[in-house]
Amino acid sequence: MPSKEISKRLSELKKLKTELYHRDFLLTWEKSLDEIKAVAIIAEILKCMHKENINTKIFETGLAISIFRDKSTRTRFSFASAVNMLGLSLVDLDEEKSQISHGETVRETANMISFLTEVIGIRDDMFLGEGNKYMREVADAVEEGFKEGVLHQRPTLVNLQCDVDHPTQSMSDLLKLKNYFGGFEKLKGKKIAMTWAYSPSYGKPLSVPQGIIGLMTRFGMEVTLAYPEGYNLIEDVERLALDNAKKSGGSFRKVHSMEEAFKDADVVYPKSWAPFSVMQRRTELLKKGDREGLKELERECLANNAKYKNWECNEKMMRLTKNGSALYMHCLPADISGVSCAEGEVSKEVFERYRIHTYDEASYKPFVIAAMILTSRFKNPYKILNMLLNRKVKRIKD
- Would you state the pLDDT for residue 63? 98
Give the integer Cα–Cα distance in Å for 19 and 376.
Answer: 9
User: Phi-psi category of 343—alpha, beta or left, where left has phi over 0 and alpha has psi -120 to 50?
Assistant: beta
pLDDT in tens, 319-332: 999 999 999 999 99
Residue type, 270: P
Using CA atoms of 376, 379, 385, 391 in order, give the dihedral in degrees to the nearest 10.
Answer: -120
Rounded to whole angstroms, the Cα distance separating 328 from 312 reads 12
Q: By the 8 A CB rule, do 84 and 395 touch?
A: no
> What residues contact 52, with CB distance under 8 A and at least 6 apart?
3, 6
- Structural domains of the chain, with CATH: 4-165+365-391 (3.40.50.1370), 168-362 (3.40.50.1370)
| Each residue's pLDDT expressed in tens, for the chain with a length of 398 residues | 689 999 999 999 999 999 999 999 999 999 999 999 999 999 999 999 999 999 999 999 999 999 999 899 999 999 999 999 999 999 999 887 788 777 889 999 999 999 999 999 999 998 899 999 999 999 999 999 999 999 999 999 999 999 999 999 999 999 999 999 999 999 999 999 999 999 999 889 999 999 999 999 999 999 999 999 999 999 999 999 999 999 999 999 999 999 999 999 999 999 999 999 999 999 999 889 999 999 999 999 999 999 999 999 999 999 999 999 999 999 999 999 999 999 999 999 999 999 999 999 999 999 999 999 999 999 999 999 999 999 989 999 87
Task: Give me the sheet containing 156-162, strands edge to edge.
Answer: 89-92, 63-68, 117-124, 156-162
pLDDT tens profile 138-178: 999 999 999 999 999 999 999 999 999 999 999 999 999 99
Secondary structure (3-state) at 59: coil
Which of 270, 288, 290 lies closest to 227 in space, CA to CA?
270
How far is Cα 244 from Cα 214, in angstroms, rounded to an integer? Answer: 8
CA distance linking residue 233 with residue 302, whole number of Å? 18
Which residues, including other chains, have CB under 8 Å from residue 193's CB and lie 6 or more apart? 224, 226, 261, 262, 265, 267, 268, 269, 270, 321, 326
CB atoms under 10 Å from CB of 154, counted, come to 19
Give CB contacts under 8 A, 24+ apart, made by 347-356: 347/312, 347/313, 347/314, 347/315, 349/314, 349/315, 350/313, 350/314, 350/315, 350/318, 353/328, 354/327, 354/328, 354/329
Residue 153 gets which letter from DSSP? S
